Amino acid sequence: MKILVAVSKAPDTTAKITFKDNNTAFNEDGVQWIVNPYDEWYALVRAIELKEAAPDTIIHLVSVDDSGADVILRKALALGGDEAIRVNIKPTDSFSVASQLAAVAREGAYDLILTGKETIDFNDGAVPGMLAELLDIPCIPVATKLTVENGKAVVVKEIEGGEQTEEVAFPVLISCAKGMAKQRMAGIRNVIAARSKTIKVVEPVAVDRLTEAVSFELPAAKTGVKMIEAGQEAELARLLHEEAKVF
């Protein structure tokens, strides 16, 4: 089985977020980058677990980004990826990313494509569905369990009030959420070995840009907390209505 795992870089959650160019672009200066946790902890680790159960499995990693993504690709290689591919273009929107991933996926003819359910910086979860549509393959989003049985993928996802199990033939794309796998760390030998592995850089395909970020802004600063004495329900209601404006 051939597995393609899409990974992306994301700012560390402790990074200070600022913008530049009149608030039209994210300021990357001084930002510490990490592998997007949903890609790493759930999609990639589950792929590695599948390979441990079936050693002839091949895991390829792919990222759409400039050379700044090489560091997170090497971390993913250290965890257990066999080869890494980087599409040499700065990501701009979900459709362009999905289109670049689709070009790589078509060439590799993968049985299984795994992604995180979303990235922690944009949180839109749009890429997996777009990618599956471009490839004309089934997509099971926000899955929490995945096994391979009788040559098919058996996938569990949470629904309101319970779980839903689906069985689907390959090829298929699955976006992975919490519960898919347990976080693991790369061994020091694998980290050292990953430094010498080649990251295949490919040029992007031509894609129309459908959306564009006009401006960014930080959320409003939090205000102080007002303590209301017990028995002052009328004052609490007034503050919620006039100041907090919640009703």
Going from the C-alpha of 90 to that of each of 8, 52, 86, 96, 132, the distances in angstroms are 11, 33, 11, 10, 21
DSSP state for residue 69 in the 8-state scheme: G
Split at pLDDT 50, 70, 90, the class of 117 is: very high
Q: How confident is the model at residue 213 (pLDDT cuts 50, 70, 90)?
A: confident
Average pLDDT value for the chain: 91
Q: Is the pLDDT of residue 201 over 80?
A: yes
Q: 92 pLDDT band (50/70/90 cuts)?
A: confident
Q: Please report the DSSP string for 171-194 in residue order.
A: SEEEEE-TTS-------HHHHHHH
Q: Which of 45-49, 65-69, 79-83 has the highest mean pLDDT?
A: 45-49
Read off the pTM: 0.84
Q: How confident is the model at residue 15 (pLDDT cuts 50, 70, 90)?
A: confident
For residue 157, the cross-strand partners are 143, 164
The model's confidence at residue 146, banded by pLDDT at 50, 70 and 90, is: very high
Domains and CATH numbers, the chain: 2-219 (3.40.50.620)
- 68 within 8 A of 9, measured Cβ to Cβ: yes
What is the average pLDDT across 221-228? 80
176 in Cβ contact with 141 (< 8 Å): no
pLDDT of residue 194: 84
